[in-house]
Each structure stands twice: as structure tokens, then as C-alpha cells.
Amino acid sequence: MTHAGTTALLVIDAQESFRQRTQEWAQTANPCVLENIARLVDRARVLGETVAWVTHSEPGSGGVFDPAQGFVRVVSDLDPLPTEMAVAKTTVNAFTSTDLEERLRDAGVTRVVICGIRTDQCCETTARVAADLGFDVVFVTDATTTSPIEADGGLAAVSGEDIMRRTEAILAARGFATISSTDRLVEA
């Protein structure tokens, strides 16, 4: 069943900032993330769905998320169209610090498909907020990625793979999102 016109693909933080953290990027839990995002973007375009490119920005921080450093841009592997939504956020989720909700509602969107970088952080938080706002949420886990969390302060280390499994289990079990795979969406 297609939801063209009422569906938006939210590409969360697929930006060069993360690749500047070379050691962390080398440990990514899902090396196929950019390929899977590209497949979802191609699918959304063919179906006439809205594509929204969300980037994370930390102005004045001096780090890789500071726009002055030049890395707060969609990764070079992906190719946003000038007609597609571009949203810069300063919060973990894509809604609180932006006009994304208003823009999606103006476009008639009722369903969001979420992919991007940091499965457990910006992607998961955006899914939870989107559900709270009344959107039907589809979370495409294999079109997200994260990195491991090192043991610190008496807390246990967690692998990126475990984080991804935990995120999809919680989002599904707690009713925040329907979990999908890139193949399932592309073949539907």
C-alpha cells in the first residue's frame, strides 16, 4: 500500500560532520547506511513523497557541528534536490527547534519514514516526538546507524549493534513506530 502525498521521508543528520569523527565513523554499526538511505530517497522520489533533509547544527561550538567549520551539510554520497525540504535543527529531535511539523502538515503529510545517523539519538528521539505529534511513524532501522558507547563511570559498554536492536525493540513495543527494513519498503 502506497501513501504517496501523505508520506514524508525524514533523512536525519546524514551529514559530513559525522565522517569528520574518523575513528567513530570507522566503528559505525551499519556500514550500508548511506546506500540504504539513497535507496529510500530514490523510492520516495518515484512515489512523489516529500523528502526532508535534516541536519544538526551547533553554532559557535567550534566543533564538527558548528556551521562555520563547513561540515553541516548532507554527505556527498547523497544528492538532495533543490526542491526538497532542508531543515537545520539545534536540538536532538527534528521538531523542537524547527518549523518541520508546520511544513509537513502544510504538505498534507500524516506518515513519516525515519532514517539517518545516530539510531538511538536523533533518529529515535525524532520518532518519539513524531508519534507524540500524531504522525504515523515508520522507523527503518537498517537505514540508520550509530556507534558503540564506551564503558565510563561504572556504566557498561554497549555495542552499536545492540543499540540498534534495543532502539527498534523499544520503538515497536512501546507503540512509537512500526519497524521496517529498506528492502521491505522498496519492494512494497
Instruction: Tell me if 185 sits within 8 A of 43, measured CB to CB.
Output: yes
Whether residue 1 has pLDDT greater than 50: no
User: Could you tell me which of 7, 33, 12, 8 has the C-alpha nearest to residue 123?
Assistant: 12
Read off the pLDDT of residues 87-137 as tens digits, 9 standing for 90 and up: 999 999 999 999 999 999 999 999 999 999 999 999 999 999 999 999 999
**pTM for this structure?**
0.94
User: Could you tell me which of 121, 100, 134 has the C-alpha nearest to residue 9?
Assistant: 100
Computed over every residue of the chain, the mean pLDDT equals 94
Residue 4: predicted pLDDT: 59
Residue 11: predicted pLDDT: 98
Cα(122)–Cα(162) distance, rounded to whole angstroms?
17
Residue 14: predicted pLDDT: 96
Cα(116)–Cα(145) distance, rounded to whole angstroms?
7
Higher pLDDT, 2 or 7: 7
Helices (H) and strands (E) in the chain, counts: 7, 6
Read off the pLDDT of residues 23-65 as tens digits, 9 standing for 90 and up: 888 889 999 999 999 999 999 999 999 999 999 999 999 999 9
Q: Which residue has the cell 551539510?
A: 73
Cα(55)–Cα(17) distance, rounded to whole angstroms?
9
Cα(75)–Cα(64) distance, rounded to whole angstroms?
13
